[in-house]
Amino acid sequence: MKYDVYNTQGKKSGSVELPERVFDVAWNDSLMHQVVTSMLSNARTPVAHVKERGEVRGGGKKPWQQKGTGRARHGSIRSPIWRGGGVTHGPRNEKSYAREIPRKMRIKALAMALSRKLKSGEVVFVDSFGIDAPKTALAKKAIASLGKALGFNAMHEKTRNAALVALADPREASVKSFRNIANIECRAVRELNPVSVMRNSYLVIENPEAAVAILAHRFGEQKKDEKKAPAKTKRAKASVTSVREVEKGDQ
């Protein structure tokens, strides 16, 4: 799979070879939903918190005597049925929303997200932005000229989550230049995840050869694990066979 590489003026400057195991993976709705919802749950901070009747200040004295007043019996003005009292079954910040995501599922979900973006024509490969000093004006100019040449308006003020800029070498100058642009997200290639890729309209990858090498290394580790699995199964079968042979010999 070969794709064109552009400069910041939108002119073709070369091409890059893309591995199929990263950029040509079939879509799986169930897997993507499970990974994305789990990641959003892990990023959730439980803030909502209410006080129960034992935590509300006051209410230690019985409001009136049990009998003889003609009114309903009450033991505390901090009961949930009183105004200013505790809250029953309200949200508590002790609840944990964390979910465990297997590594192979995360990696495959990222591959599906990258493949979907590539097939939709929403991935742009840039040789270099040429930013040597932290300057937001340079980053805005580069994205604007690139988007104008390739047909996407990332600099429009009403465009939300316009683009995700993935840097193979996240230098301080580039990161500081892009982080002040409201509708542009900047990440290192090694930090890409399905949520960030799917949340933004376009994915702009700088230095594609190095970026593809980093991604291929991550997916290469998964491939090694998959190769090791059958070997373990064979050893297990061999051990079961040897046990059966010993049992037959004893008989």
Answer whether residue 214 shows pLDDT above 70: yes
Q: How confident is the model at residue 180 (pLDDT cuts 50, 70, 90)?
A: confident
Q: What is the pTM for the complete model shown?
A: 0.75
Q: Would residue 36 count as lying in a domain?
A: no
Same domain (yes/no): 115, 196: yes
Q: Would residue 148 count as lying in a domain?
A: yes
Same domain (yes/no): 91, 148: no
Same domain (yes/no): 198, 121: yes
Give dist(CA 114, CA 1) in Å, integer: 14
Task: Of 14, 74, 50, 39, give the one whose Cα is nearest residue 193.
Answer: 39
Q: Would residue 16 count as lying in a domain?
A: yes
pLDDT at 246: 43
Same domain (yes/no): 19, 86: no
What residue has token string 């024509």? 121
Same domain (yes/no): 90, 130: no
Same domain (yes/no): 129, 13: yes
Mean pLDDT of the region 143-165: 73
Same domain (yes/no): 194, 120: yes
Q: pLDDT digit string (tens) for 235-249?
A: 545 554 554 554 555
Q: Would residue 6 count as lying in a domain?
A: yes
How many domains does the chain divide into? 2
Give dist(CA 221, CA 208) in Å, integer: 20
Same domain (yes/no): 52, 151: no
Q: Would residue 61 count as lying in a domain?
A: yes
**Residue 84 Ramachandran class (φ > 0 left, ψ -120 to 50 alpha, else beta):** left
Task: Of 186, 197, 190, 188, give the one whose Cα is nearest residue 214.
Answer: 190
Contacts of 188 (CB under 8 A, 6+ apart): 166, 167, 168, 170
Q: Would residue 138 count as lying in a domain?
A: yes
Query: By the 8 A CB rule, do 59 and 53 touch?
Result: yes
Q: How confident is the model at residue 153 (pLDDT cuts 50, 70, 90)?
A: low
Give dist(CA 105, CA 123) in Å, integer: 22
Domain extent, residue 81, equals 45-96
Mean pLDDT of the region 121-129: 90
Same domain (yes/no): 51, 125: no
Give dist(CA 35, CA 51) in Å, integer: 33
Q: How confident is the model at residue 50 (pLDDT cuts 50, 70, 90)?
A: very high
Answer whether residue 152 shows pLDDT above 70: no
Same domain (yes/no): 195, 139: yes
Give dist(CA 155, CA 178) in Å, integer: 12
Same domain (yes/no): 56, 14: no
Q: Report which of residues 232 and 152 the model is more confident about.
A: 152
Q: How far is CA 216 from CA 106, 164, 244, in A?
A: 15, 19, 43
Same domain (yes/no): 140, 157: yes
Mean pLDDT of the region 216-220: 86
pLDDT at 240: 46
CATH number at residue 142: 3.40.1370.10
Answer whether residue 193 shows pLDDT above 70: yes
Q: Would residue 21 count as lying in a domain?
A: yes
Give dist(CA 140, CA 162) in Å, integer: 12
Contacts of 12 (CB under 8 A, 6+ apart): 4, 5, 6
pLDDT at 12: 86
Answer whether residue 25 shows pLDDT above 50: yes
Kindly write down the DSSP assignment for every residue of 55-76, as one continuous string. Answer: TSS---S-SS-SSSSSSPP-S-
Q: How confident is the model at residue 162 (pLDDT cuts 50, 70, 90)?
A: confident
Q: Would residue 202 count as lying in a domain?
A: yes
Q: How confident is the model at residue 73 (pLDDT cuts 50, 70, 90)?
A: very high
Q: Which of 15-19, 140-144, 178-182, 234-238 shows the lowest mean pLDDT across its residues?
A: 234-238
Query: By the 8 A CB rule, do 47 and 70 touch?
Result: no
Q: pLDDT digit string (tens) for 11-22?
A: 888 899 999 999
